């Protein structure tokens, strides 16, 4: 009996060690880039663990998945910038409050909730121009009304969240969803039906639009291998990126983008009220950067994608507004356009490792000048 227990213990130890070794290896493979947000702690925990030391320059970052992506591994553009600044001998400490799936109102909530205690010297507002320019109904609330109009979300944690802490298990699960329909989440179907109801379209319209989508990408969307929102936007707003780039007020996208500028201004003004220097980092959607990224969107059924030779009108408007208010702006569009290598993941809207590095180096150089 004793020998059997020892054998079982040895077997269990070997399995644990093997799993740990495979986890370590998988996290270093390129495929792990797509799961770069999985291991990041909730914002409240990140805030608790943050302690700027002595006379360091405190930098707080707010943003969405672009800010959160690869945060835990240090491969995020904000962390790359922090490392570059430290190599230059600058005493900086950074708290990254980026959250996937969030927007300007969420950035504001996090800053109002935690900013006064953090006492930042610089607040980096990472604005993903692809979906951040959506106004909060009625405008952002005053700080004392925040808990009423914009309460902190109650995030439920369960066994699925524990499994998401493993990149290896996530990759296995994603592969399983490609081949086993019953393990698919149904997220894409839900998103498409939700978008259909908002657009007031019927199922015949959806079927006609789905017929235009590359079958392989449709399969990947149903298996959550690509973002279901990318597909839904293509179905119901195929010229989304073009209307957004032009800030065309005859379209819903252009009208929303212009209205969101008020929220953006309120956000950086609040950062300034904390005694911090706000810095806007404008992250362009890949279709505005280069035609090399258009294939994915065209296969999904998108139409005009907003690529222009110069500065997209909405970018010009943001830069003019912010600089007019004395706010520093880093526009990443020229940096990304100058790259010979792809800067975005295939079949995704986010940066790859090269894009993270480009953005991080550009941010470090910019902060050296804008926030010495």
Higher pLDDT, 327 or 164: 327
The helix/strand count (H/E) of the chain reads as 18, 5
Task: For residue 122, give Cα distances in angstroms to 12, 36, 118, 159.
Answer: 49, 25, 11, 37
pLDDT of amino acid 249: 82
Residue 62 has φ and ψ, to the nearest 5°, of: -125, 145
pLDDT of amino acid 179: 61
Question: How much is the average pLDDT of 246-269?
Answer: 92
At residue 40, the 3 state secondary structure works out as: coil
pLDDT tens-digit profile of 213-230? 999 999 989 888 889 999
Higher pLDDT, 175 or 135: 135
pLDDT tops 90 at residue 302: yes
pLDDT tens-digit profile of 343-371? 999 999 999 999 999 999 999 999 998 65
Residue among 128, 134, 69, 133 nearest 96 (CA): 69
pLDDT of amino acid 314: 95
CATH-assigned architecture of domain 36-156+240-370: 3-Layer(aba) Sandwich (3.40)
Question: How much is the average pLDDT of 11-27?
Answer: 65
Residue spans of beta strands (DSSP E) within the chain: 57-62, 92-96, 122-128, 277-283, 328-331
pLDDT tens-digit profile of 151-199? 766 555 554 555 556 666 666 666 665 666 656 677 899 999 999 999 9
pLDDT of amino acid 233: 96
Question: How much is the average pLDDT of 323-342?
Answer: 97
Number of Cβ atoms within 10 Å of the Cβ of 87: 9
Residue 155 CA to residue 101 CA, distance in Å, equals 13
Q: Percent of the chain, pLDDT > 70?
A: 80
Higher pLDDT, 119 or 176: 119
pLDDT tops 90 at residue 338: yes
Those residues whose C-beta lies under 8 Å from the C-beta of residue 83, and which sit 6 or more positions away, are 74, 360
Predicted TM-score (pTM) of the model is 0.87
pLDDT tens-digit profile of 281-295? 999 999 999 999 999
pLDDT of amino acid 297: 97
pLDDT tops 60 at residue 330: yes
């Amino acid at each position: 009996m004793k020998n059997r227990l020892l054998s079982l213990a040895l077997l269990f130890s070997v399995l644990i060690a093997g799993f740990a070794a495979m986890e370590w290896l998988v996290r270093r493979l390129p495929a792990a880039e797509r799961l770069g947000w999985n291991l990041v702690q909730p914002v409240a925990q990140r805030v608790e663990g943050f302690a700027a030391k002595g006379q360091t320059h405190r930098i707080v970052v707010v943003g969405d998945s672009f800010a959160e992506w690869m945060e835990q591994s240090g491969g995020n553009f904000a962390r790359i910038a922090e490392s570059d600044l430290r190599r230059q001998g600058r005493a900086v400490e950074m708290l990254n409050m980026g959250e996937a799936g969030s927007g300007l109102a969420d950035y504001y909530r996090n800053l109002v909730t935690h900013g006064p205690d953090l006492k930042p010297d610089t607040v980096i507002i990472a604005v993903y121009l692809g979906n951040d320019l959506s106004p909060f109904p009625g405008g952002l609330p005053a700080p004392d009304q925040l808990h009423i109009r914009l309460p902190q979300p109650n995030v439920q944690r369960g066994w699925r969240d524990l499994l998401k802490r493993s990149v290896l298990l996530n990759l296995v699960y994603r592969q399983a969803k490609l081949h086993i329909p019953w393990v698919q989440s149904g997220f894409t179907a839900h998103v498409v039906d939700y978008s259909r109801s908002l657009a007031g379209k019927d199922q015949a319209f959806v079927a006609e639009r789905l017929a235009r989508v590359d079958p392989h990408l449709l399969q990947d969307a149903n298996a959550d291998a690509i973002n279901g929102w990318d597909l839904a936007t293509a179905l119901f707003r195929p010229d989304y990126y073009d209307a957004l780039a032009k800030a065309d007020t005859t379209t819903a996208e252009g009208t929303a983008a212009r209205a969101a500028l008020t929220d953006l201004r309120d956000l950086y003004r609040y950062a300034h009220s904390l005694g911090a220097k706000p810095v806007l980092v404008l992250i362009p959607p890949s279709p505005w950067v280069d035609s090399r990224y258009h294939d994915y969107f065209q296969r999904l059924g998108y139409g005009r994608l907003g690529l222009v030779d110069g500065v997209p009108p909405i970018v010009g408007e943001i830069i003019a507004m912010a600089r007019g208010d004395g706010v520093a702006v880093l526009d990443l569009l020229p940096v990304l356009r100058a790259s010979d290598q792809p800067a975005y993941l295939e079949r995704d809207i986010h940066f790859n490792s090269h894009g993270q590095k480009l953005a991080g180096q550009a941010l470090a150089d910019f902060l050296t000048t804008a926030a010495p």
